[in-house]
């Protein structure tokens, strides 16, 4: 948390307020983030015009005129908002970028697992992203997706969490997608049929589209770039519903640890079988 839908919501909220603005200055608080902000980066971003803000996986990319970029990650509790410069900063605000219109882009992170860093060239950004992320969910090709699943003996849940396999899916949307696809989270990728692989691919897209439309899921601290909470948590079918009745078949939702994460599934709707399509 936050995952792709939450990050996409932040980016969409902030785009009208940031694109075309000039960064006048940058200031960091006394506590370091996961990637400490370097003092020399403030001079490099000062005077730069923001040309775009976009998302790749769970990363936020703020492009600057001249080829540089700010690369941000919300971590577990990060919040990124544009506020009036004269508005008092909230506690746990670790970075502030003063803009030319009397506002500031502020990064707040209670647990400090998030980060922002400056990359000087587009090639640096491409290398950074290319080394870490696989395709976006909407760019998955059925044939290559099927091959990727079949080539691994890891559980499907672990494969969905692997950002090199598909970028942006995290714990919430892995559970929800597997439920929508009627596939057990422990099923090995190598045992997945072509029909199941396509069903899962389409379930991922549908789940993410629905979550983005609902502005993501607010579980603890997440708010969008406008400060509004998400609403998709009210539409979860399995995530965080352990012990409650499945909304489809009525069986109780189970929870286990898988791939190092809490995993929620319905034993009625997601039965294990090598022969089911």
Catalytically active residues are 2-3, 58, 261
Strand partners, 54: 61
State the Cα–Cα distance between residues 277 and 255, nearest whole angstrom.
24
Cα–Cα distance for residue pair 139/148, rounded to 1 Å:
14
How many CB atoms neighbour CB 273 within 10 A?
Answer: 9
Tokens of 175: 């559970």
| Whether the Cβ atoms of residue 11 and residue 77 lie closer than 8 Å to each other | no
Q: Please classify residue 244 by burial: count the beta carbons closer than 10 Å to its beta carbon, then call 0-12 exposed, 13-18 middle and 19+ buried.
A: exposed
Q: Which residues pair with 97 in a beta bridge?
A: 26, 105
For residues 178 and 200, the answer to whether their CB atoms sit within 8 Å is yes
Give the ranges where the chain is alpha helix by DSSP (H). Answer: 4-18, 39-45, 122-130, 142-150, 156-161, 171-181, 194-213
Check whether the bond before 76 is cis (ω within 30° of 0): no
Q: Cα(58)–Cα(63) distance, rounded to whole angstroms? A: 16
Q: Which residue has the tokens 């439920």?
A: 179
In this structure, the number of other CB atoms found within 10 A of the CB of residue 233 comes to 17
């Amino acid at each position: 948390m936050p995952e792709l839908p939450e990050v996409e919501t932040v980016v969409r909220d902030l785009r009208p307020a940031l694109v075309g603005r000039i960064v006048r200055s940058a200031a960091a608080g006394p506590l370091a983030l996961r990637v400490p902000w370097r003092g020399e980066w403030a001079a490099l971003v000062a005077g730069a015009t923001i040309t775009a803000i976009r998302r790749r996986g769970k990363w936020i990319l703020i492009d600057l005129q001249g080829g540089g970029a700010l690369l941000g990650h919300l971590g577990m509790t990060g919040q990124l908002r544009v506020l009036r410069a004269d508005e008092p900063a909230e506690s746990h605000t670790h970075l502030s970028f003063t803009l030319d219109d009397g506002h500031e882009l502020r990064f707040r992170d209670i647990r400090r697992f998030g980060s922002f860093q400056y990359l000087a060239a587009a090639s640096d950004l491409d290398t950074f992203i290319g080394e870490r992320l696989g395709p976006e969910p909407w760019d998955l090709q059925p044939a290559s997706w099927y091959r990727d699943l079949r080539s691994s003996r890891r559980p499907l849940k672990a494969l969905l969490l692997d950002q090199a396999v598909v970028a942006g899916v995290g714990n919430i949307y892995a559970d929800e997608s597997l439920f929508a696809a009627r596939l057990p989270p422990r099923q090995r990728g190598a045992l997945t049929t072509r029909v199941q692989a396509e069903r899962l691919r389409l379930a991922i897209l549908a789940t993410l589209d629905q979550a983005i439309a609902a502005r993501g899921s607010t579980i603890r601290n997440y708010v969008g770039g406008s400060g509004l909470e998400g609403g998709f948590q009210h539409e979860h079918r399995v995530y965080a519903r352990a012990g409650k009745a499945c909304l489809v078949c009525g069986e109780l939702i189970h929870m286990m640890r898988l791939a190092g994460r809490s995993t929620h599934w319905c034993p009625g709707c997601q039965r294990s079988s090598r022969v089911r399509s």
